[in-house]
């Protein structure tokens, strides 16, 4: 079997890091993309301990030329791309009446346009390998709310973008899906709770303990659980699944 190569963005922390480490069991080489070089180097050590080669590419995907750099360096090192997992993208959690144009643009530049540019740049290599793409959204795409309007709006756009790419992928032999995690306990979730708590008259500790019940779930998810879903989506077992929106949220979304 020929070697398999995966690119994981947002690999410096949280779900991105967990996914990169999990994929090291299934792929021969993992390209780790994010802005924080020390954190990426730490992820790389875990990937290599798990048995895969690691290539660190520390770029800011909100910059227009970053996607091309990632693809060029990946192909120079490994000659192919079999999977692209777009996980990078912190979005400001600010009330809809308070967000500035600059804050909206920052959220769009990284999570939406960063993923779009990288998918476009990698598409010829993905077409050549009959590869797979995952775009990570979030279940807030299904219920945007005023206190964190940008998160829901941009996540909804990610789902639509994945659908559009999957339509093109049917003709080109590229599988494309989106994944919508719910309340996963990561550093980003803690930052969200720091924002959410004062809006509800609570301390961060109280909000952390209370949020699962408020959201109608039994507990927070883990980055490793989402990583297992990511690994399945880009595995041969899931190959016929494309254009799908997969939600893993502990039952937070109650609609059918």
Q: CB burial class (10 A; 0-12, 13-18, 19+) of residue 100?
A: exposed
Joined together, the tokens standing for residue 222 give: 């883990």
Q: In the chain, what are the domains? A: 5-182+222-247 (3.40.50.720), 184-220 (no CATH)
Residue 211 has pLDDT above 90, yes or no: no
**Pairing of the two strands 83-86 and 5-9:** parallel
**Cα distance between residue 70 and residue 75, in whole Å:** 9
| pLDDT tens per residue across span 94-143 | 888 998 999 899 989 999 999 999 999 999 999 999 999 999 999 989 98
Mean pLDDT of 2-6: 91
* Integer Cα distance of 153 and 157 in angstroms: 6
- The predicted structure's pLDDT at residue 54: 98
How far is the C-alpha of 79 from the C-alpha of 76, rounded, in Å? 6
**Beta partners for 56?**
32
pLDDT tens digits, one per residue of 148-188: 788 899 999 999 999 999 999 999 999 999 999 998 988 77
């Amino acid at each position: 079997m020929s070697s398999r190569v995966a690119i994981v963005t947002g690999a410096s922390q949280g779900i991105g890091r967990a996914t990169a480490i999990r994929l090291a069991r299934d792929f021969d080489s993992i390209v780790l993309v994010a802005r924080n070089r020390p954190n990426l180097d730490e992820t790389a050590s875990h990937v290599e301990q798990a048995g895969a080669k690691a290539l660190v590419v520390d770029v800011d995907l909100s910059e227009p030329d970053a996607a091309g750099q990632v693809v060029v360096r990946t192909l120079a090192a490994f000659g192919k791309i079999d999977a692209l997992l777009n996980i990078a993208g912190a979005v400001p959690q600010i009330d809809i009446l308070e967000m500035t144009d600059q804050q909206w643009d920052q959220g769009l530049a990284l999570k939406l346009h960063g993923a779009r540019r990288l998918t476009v740049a990698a598409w010829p290599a993905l077409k050549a390998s009959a590869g797979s793409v995952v775009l990570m959204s979030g279940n807030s795409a299904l219920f945007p709310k005023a206190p964190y309007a940008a998160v829901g709006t941009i996540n909804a756009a990610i789902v639509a973008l994945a659908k559009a790419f999957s339509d093109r992928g049917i003709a080109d032999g590229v599988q494309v899906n989106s994944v919508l995690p719910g309340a996963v306990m990561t550093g980003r979730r803690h930052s969200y709770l720091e924002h959410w708590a004062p809006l509800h008259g609570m301390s961060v500790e109280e909000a952390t303990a209370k949020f699962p019940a408020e959201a109608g779930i039994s507990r927070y998810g883990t980055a490793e659980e989402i990583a297992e879903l990511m690994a399945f989506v880009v595995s041969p077992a899931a190959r016929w699944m494309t254009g799908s929106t997969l939600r893993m949220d502990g039952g937070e979304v109650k609609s059918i």
